[in-house]
Amino acid sequence: MLHTTMAPSSAVLRPYIWAYGMTTGRVDSVPLVIPLPARPKQLLTFSFADRFRVLRPGSGRSDSTPRVTAVGPQSYSRAGLSAFGRIDNFSIHFQPSGFNRLFGVPMTELTDAAYDAHAVIGPEVSTLEHELGDVPGFAERIQIVEKRMIPLAGQSRPDAVAIAANRLFASHGIHRVSAMATASGLSTRQFERRFLAQVGVPPKLYARIIRFNAVLDHKLRFPSRPWSHVANDHDYYDQMHFVHDCRAFTGETPSRFLAHLDGLPAFHTFFATANRARID
């Protein structure tokens, strides 16, 4: 059985890091398969036990994930993950432009991809990996990350596009690009270009992905609420508008995709967008 815990970052790192998560436990007998739809978050995930495997569609084969994986925003449904054995994963969930601002990586290089973090960030990842692996507790691991990240945040200047991207995520994707550009003091074209470099996905598409994940997150936390009500709460015109996005981002209908997640409560946090600590 797996258990996932999430906690927000400290106030000083909130513009860069949205939350931390840790999943621990065992998966015995039959591997768990986690579907991966389009998702807005950038992640840095550390594996200290058996690693997830990335499934190759139609081949029956899979590849082991790196010990430390840098995951970019995903604009479409990808192959799923398989979890088996002893699991001890710690993840940093970044704000939309947080990874770019802390590490200086152009996010278009990580869009729809996941790489060994050592190749993306550099050798300092090894030091952080060893420090996190030496302590088993969630709170202790958060303290270690914050000690490492706060100096990096101190080197980052305030950025209007980063602020707009964070607000877009916090609003569950309900903001117009033109309004964000105006608030940032940029033309729409300038804003879109800088947003793409910092976030990795064009702002209109990114807003759709955030909103879709916000609906999934809400439905997973409140399963008795009708799809139509949840979609309406998140500014969809109607339920069919949401169904269209669900097919675009998962390849399936909402109910069919949700059925895949019924036995995976520890992985519901993959879709978490609610701005609060959450424990599953």
What's the token pair of residue 159?
A: 């950025």
The reported pLDDT for the residue numbered 56 is 81
- Which numeric CATH code is attached to 2-157? 2.60.120
Per-residue pLDDT of the chain (280 residues; tens, 9 = 90+): 899 999 999 999 999 999 999 999 999 989 999 999 999 999 999 999 999 999 987 777 899 999 999 999 999 998 799 999 999 999 999 999 999 999 999 999 999 999 999 999 999 999 999 999 999 999 999 999 999 999 999 998 889 999 999 999 999 999 999 999 999 999 999 999 999 999 999 999 999 999 999 999 999 999 999 999 999 999 998 889 999 999 999 999 999 999 999 889 989 888 888 754 443 3
How far is residue 215 from each of residues 73, 109, 165, 261, measured CA to CA in Å? Answer: 17, 28, 19, 14
What's the token pair of residue 162?
A: 């980063």
pLDDT digits (tens, 9 = 90+) for 65-88: 999 999 999 999 987 999 999 999
Place of tokens 């424990």: 279
Place of tokens 């990335």: 54
The reported pLDDT for the residue numbered 274 is 72
Query: 88 has which bridge partners?
Result: 24
Cα(111)–Cα(109) distance, integer angstroms? 6
The reported pLDDT for the residue numbered 275 is 55
Q: Is 130 exposed, middle or buried (0-12, 13-18, 19+ CB in 10 A)?
A: exposed
The rounded Cα 108 to chain-centroid distance in angstroms is 15
Place of tokens 């990114």: 206
pLDDT digits (tens, 9 = 90+) for 176-202: 999 999 999 999 999 999 999 999 999
CA angle at 89 for the pair 156 and 222, rounded to the nearest 5°: 90
